[in-house]
Amino acid sequence: MIIETAQRTRQTSEYYFSVKLAEVRKLIAEGHDVINLGIGNPDMMPSVETLEALTTAAYQPQAHGYQPYTGTPAFRKSVADFYYRTYGVTLDPNTEILPLIGSKEGITHISLTFLDPGDEVLVPELGYPAYRAVSQMVGAVVKEYPLREDHGWQPDWHAMESLITPKTKLMWLNYPHMPTGAPATQELFEEAVAFAKKHRILLCHDNPYSLILNKKAPISLLSVEGAKEVAIELNSMSKSHNMAGWRMGWLSGAKEYVSAVLTIKSNVDSGMFFAMQEAGAKALGNSAEWHSERNAVYQGRLEASEALLRTLGCTWDDKQEGMFLWGKLPDSTESAEALVNSLLVEKHVFIAPGFIFGPKGQRYIRLSLCLPKERIWQAVERIKG
């Protein structure tokens, strides 16, 4: 006898990478050397100071007990200092910051906090699949908003006016944008805040890529005057600090929003391991030179990835930021799915098809910069061969 699962399991499909990586593992088990350019899994190390802080803190007697739901004061202060130093944004470490076990869980906590069944959520037509999946899991209605390819993949604010109804409650935004690499701009954030205020919706900005291959000073949505009235920002140490497996992130916003999310979160999990928070606080103090050195490595990988796209006949926007490269397929290529499958089976090179991020990605592919440049060049040679 098998007990029937809940309805939400039937309206949410298994994450694409979960399925595809099983194929990758099968090929590896058969003895093939698969070059995986599909996943954004940082392969470089955290700073030495971060690891030293982790080790030292782990030996403290109080390190292994339960920690506060709101995180340690030292970690929250380090986030506030990081925001002021990096973005020029002032946050109250006691009331406007909530540590998360990775910012991905924040998507779920925010949705559980603010959405009732039938509420409508604005989700970009190309974006992180979790925005859509979690909205559906909590019973909300997903409405895709258009991104203008001819305008740097920015939201089409005029078209979005027609999507607003009395049930519209929340909007997801993510710049630098994944998967297109479209950069964040102050003008974009000002338009987003004005739109949210006009329609009285909660604006949720996901900001994990602002320090990677950024061509200008990184910015935060919360730098816009009055943003805290209508916005929450998620941020993460996964990409920017090479700590993806640590599951460390936070959300920032007005005290009222943070307290509301805490009501849900405190019933779901507990505080992060003390030693991780101590190490995270140290990591958030990494020097500008540390980040520059990592970006120099990413730049070398970007150049190799551009050569790979060139080999496939793709075109791309050279203004992209973040840890991926988004390429448009030539007309001569049948489809992204066919290309991805043939490269995996015949060349043992795995790349991500654009359609997993939304229907508008049908003629696109995405490359991750999370492998040494030598491996990416090896993939180029395989494809040429």
Predicted confidence (pLDDT) per residue in 1-27, tens digit: 789 888 887 776 666 777 788 888 999
Residue 249 to residues 106, 224, 226, 295, 338, Cα–Cα distance (Å)? 8, 21, 23, 21, 36
pLDDT single digits (tens) 130-144? 999 999 999 999 999
| Cα 372 from Cα 370, distance rounded (Å) | 7
User: Residues 55-72, buried b or exposed e (16+ Cβ, 10 A)?
Assistant: eebeeeeebeeebbbbbb
Q: Angle between the 103-114 and 255-265 helix axes, to the nearest 10 degrees?
A: 100
E-state strands within the chain: 35-36, 97-100, 120-124, 141-145, 147-148, 154-155, 168-173, 202-206, 231-236, 249-253, 324-328, 349-350, 352-353, 364-368
Q: What is the pTM of this model?
A: 0.95
Note the pLDDT of residue 1.
79
Nearest CA among 197, 189, 129 for reference residue 154 = 189
| CA angle 295–96–165, rounded 5-degree value | 90
- How much is the pLDDT for 118? 97
Task: Determine the 3-state secondary structure of 120 from DSSP.
Answer: strand
Mean pLDDT score across all residues of the chain: 96
pLDDT in tens, 232-261: 999 999 999 999 999 999 999 999 999 999
